[in-house]
């Protein structure tokens, strides 16, 4: 049979694959609209919209990066982060039967979205009762309502949007490392922060975790810009700190303490003005006052009394009491037992670091979820043990690189504060707020070998053209004037052949090798 005019001889496989994906997507979308509600099939509209918004942003970020493969890595990370919203949804509403905070956020967020979609909203005035205080859970309800007012009240779609927010928080952590710590291993950090199972899975649902991941990333990016003397640092720090303070102000307090330590240790610009030290001192005092004010807000948030160490002790005790429930309790206590009292002694800090970063251990797992989590924490422990040559440089880098000081102070304070959590499941979920900065310690540059650090210095050899004739060796029989005649010298006027005269007898150039 003759080939039709204009018919292509062979179709490229990317076009065939794209056509198959589009056909399959449309088929699934139609079937979902017929057999499910908007809670489910609405996600099929939200997912491509989020990818379409994120792709050009990632392309612009990758264009400023010298690595050629960074765009594909970022696209893979965003797609995988969005896909993790589906197993997170199945865990909350299939494995746990809807016994999750996401169900409450979805219900109240849908009601708020319906109120925001009213045509007479601005004419009648905005009066809406959340039924709870805004700080904490109420703020996440507001965020969910605003998201649903844009996308529609889709439960799976809400999971996708919050997972998408969590991805941008991870991206901001990565950009912060590139900005303030350029000699670190950026590629290794990208693989860890984008593909660590906990960071993929837990901040992928409607709730506080994804929002905190985004705001902490924004705060850290602002800190990096501040330490590198770049524009817009305080705007990022203010926006990120406000977002974290509205949900978990105690985490904002920890980030503020890390920022204060990093700002005091930061490098001064080479051309600092006369008021540079005074401006640094004033800024440090202002940051210290803000940390103290945030401590009072934390005390009010937990409903405790007292100031200073008493307030901190009460907050830690209240955290332990609130988390001493469920099937994954570490140490069970009677309901009528008083909250434990914690010591502020820093001697217990190493135990707190191990407890927060590397528990549960495999022998502590009480169910399949804890067993899977213990495998990840054990792998993380192996990475820290193998990274001991890098970790030995932390005391020096703590002073030389203020971003390392920020990450170290925040990690230590977080481990010290969250070691009071008495539930393995809650600890696994809360740990994602410290992992991006704890992973910074694994990508510090390794110390160079001694030979490479101080190469042997060789004494330079005099060039040939700077050595006077006759200095190398005594001329042998082969170097007789007969073999190498000396040109005659004429001091007055040109020679009989018209050649230019010379000032003294010069040997022929063939004398030198």
Q: Poorest-confidence range of 197-211, 214-228, 234-248, 292-306?
A: 292-306
Q: How confident is the model at residue 135 (pLDDT cuts 50, 70, 90)?
A: confident
Q: 345: alpha, beta or left, given left = phi > 0 and alpha = psi -120 to 50?
A: beta
Top pLDDT among 18 and 105 is at: 105
pLDDT tens figures, 58-99: 999 999 888 888 999 999 999 999 999 999 999 999 888 888
Please give the radius of gyration of the chain, using alpha carbons only, rounded to the nearest integer: 34
Whether pLDDT at 138 is above 80: yes
Render 101-141 in DSSP notation, one character per residue: HHHHHHHHHHHHHHHHT-TTHHHH------SS-IIIIIHHH
Amino acid 451: pLDDT: 45
Q: Poorest-confidence range of 143-147, 270-274, 411-415?
A: 270-274
Amino acid 473: pLDDT: 52
Average pLDDT over residues 319-324: 53
Instruction: Give the count of alpha carbons within 13 A of 216, CB side only.
Output: 32
Q: How confident is the model at residue 511 (pLDDT cuts 50, 70, 90)?
A: very low
Specify burial of residue 482 (Cβ count, 10 A radius: 0-12, 13-18, 19+). exposed
pLDDT tens figures, 475-508: 555 545 555 555 555 555 555 455 555 444 444 4
Instruction: Give the count of alpha carbons within 13 A of 324, CB side only.
Output: 17
Q: Of 278, 307, 283, give the one whose Cα is nearest residue 295.
A: 307
For all residues of the chain together, what is the average pLDDT? 79
Whether pLDDT at 431 is above 70: yes
Q: Are 241 and 252 in contact (CB under 8 A)?
A: yes
Spell out a b/e string for 441-479, using b for 16 or more CB atoms within 10 Å of the CB, else e.
Answer: bbbbeeeeeeeeeeeeeeeeeeeeeeeeeeeeeeeeeee
* Calpha distance 33→467 (Å, rounded): 91
Amino acid 510: pLDDT: 46
pLDDT tens figures, 365-376: 778 888 888 999
Whether pLDDT at 303 is above 90: no
Residue 306 phi, psi dihedral angles, 5° rounding: 110, 175
Amino acid 419: pLDDT: 85
According to DSSP, residue 434 is labeled T
pLDDT tens figures, 351-409: 889 999 998 888 887 788 888 889 999 999 999 999 988 899 998 899 889 999 999 99
Amino acid 263: pLDDT: 87
Residue 167's contacts (CB-CB under 8 Å, 6 or more residues apart) are 54, 77, 78, 81, 82
> The tokens of 127 are what?
């009066």
Residue 507's contacts (CB-CB under 8 Å, 6 or more residues apart) are 469, 484, 486
Q: Are 500 and 494 in contact (CB under 8 A)?
A: yes
Amino acid 296: pLDDT: 65
Whether pLDDT at 299 is above 70: no
* Calpha distance 425→329 (Å, rounded): 8
State whether residue 423 is helix, strand or coil.
strand
Q: How confident is the model at residue 11 (pLDDT cuts 50, 70, 90)?
A: low
Amino acid 346: pLDDT: 72
Average pLDDT over residues 223-227: 93
Amino acid 316: pLDDT: 59
* Calpha distance 103→393 (Å, rounded): 46
Average pLDDT over residues 242-254: 90
Average pLDDT over residues 193-216: 95
Q: Are 389 and 395 in contact (CB under 8 A)?
A: no
Average pLDDT over residues 158-167: 96
Q: Poorest-confidence range of 17-31, 135-149, 210-224, 442-456?
A: 442-456
Q: 158: alpha, beta or left, given left = phi > 0 and alpha = psi -120 to 50?
A: alpha
Q: How confident is the model at residue 446 (pLDDT cuts 50, 70, 90)?
A: confident
């Amino acid at each position: 049979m003759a080939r039709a005019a204009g018919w292509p001889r062979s179709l490229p496989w990317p076009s065939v694959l794209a056509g198959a994906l589009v056909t399959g997507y449309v088929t699934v979308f139609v079937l979902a609209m017929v057999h499910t509600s908007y809670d489910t099939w609405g996600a099929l509209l939200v997912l491509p919209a989020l990818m379409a918004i994120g792709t050009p942003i990632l392309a612009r970020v990758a264009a400023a990066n010298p690595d050629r493969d960074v765009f594909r890595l970022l696209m893979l990370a965003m797609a995988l982060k969005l896909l993790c919203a589906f197993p997170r949804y199945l865990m909350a509403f299939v494995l746990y039967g809807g016994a999750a905070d996401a169900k409450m956020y979805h219900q109240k967020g849908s009601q708020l979205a319906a109120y925001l979609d009213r045509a007479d909203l601005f004419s009648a005035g905005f009066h809406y009762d959340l039924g709870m205080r805004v700080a904490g859970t109420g703020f996440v309800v507001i965020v969910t309502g605003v998201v649903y007012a844009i996308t529609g009240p889709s439960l799976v779609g809400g999971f996708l949007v919050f997972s998408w927010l969590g991805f941008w928080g991870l991206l901001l952590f990565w950009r912060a490392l590139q900005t303030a710590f350029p000699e670190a291993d950026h590629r290794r950090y990208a693989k860890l922060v984008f593909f660590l199972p906990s960071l993929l899975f837990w901040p992928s649902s409607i709730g506080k975790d994804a929002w905190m991941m985004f705001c902490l990333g924004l705060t850290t990016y602002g800190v990096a810009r501040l330490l590198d003397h770049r524009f817009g640092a305080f705007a990022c720090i203010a926006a990120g700190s406000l977002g974290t303070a509205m949900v978990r102000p105690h985490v904002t307090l920890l980030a503020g303490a890390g920022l204060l330590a990093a700002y005091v240790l930061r490098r001064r610009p080479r051309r600092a003005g006369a008021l540079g030290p005074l401006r640094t001192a004033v800024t440090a005092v202002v940051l210290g006052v803000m940390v103290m004010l945030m401590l009072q807000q934390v005390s009010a948030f937990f409903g405790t009394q007292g100031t200073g160490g008493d307030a901190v002790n009460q907050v830690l005790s209240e955290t332990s009491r609130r988390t001493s429930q469920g099937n994954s309790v570490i140490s069970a206590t009677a309901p009528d037992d008083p909250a434990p009292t914690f010591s502020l002694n820093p001697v217990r800090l190493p135990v707190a670091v191990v407890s927060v970063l590397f528990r549960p251990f495999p022998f502590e797992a009480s169910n399949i979820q804890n067993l899977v989590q213990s495998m990840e924490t054990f792998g993380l422990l192996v990475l820290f043990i193998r990274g001991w040559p890098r970790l030995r440089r932390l005391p020096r880098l703590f002073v030389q690189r203020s971003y390392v000081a920020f990450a170290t102070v925040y990690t230590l304070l977080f481990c010290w504060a969250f070691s009071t959590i008495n539930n393995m499941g809650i600890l696994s979920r809360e740990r994602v707020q410290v992992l991006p900065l704890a992973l910074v310690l694994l990508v510090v540059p390794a110390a160079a070998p001694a030979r490479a650090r101080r190469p042997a210095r060789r004494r330079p050899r005099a060039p040939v053209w700077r050595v006077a004739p006759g200095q190398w060796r005594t001329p042998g029989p082969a170097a007789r004037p007969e073999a190498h005649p000396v040109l005659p010298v004429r001091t007055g006027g040109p020679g009989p052949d018209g050649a230019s005269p010379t000032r003294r007898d010069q040997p022929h150039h063939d004398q030198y090798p």
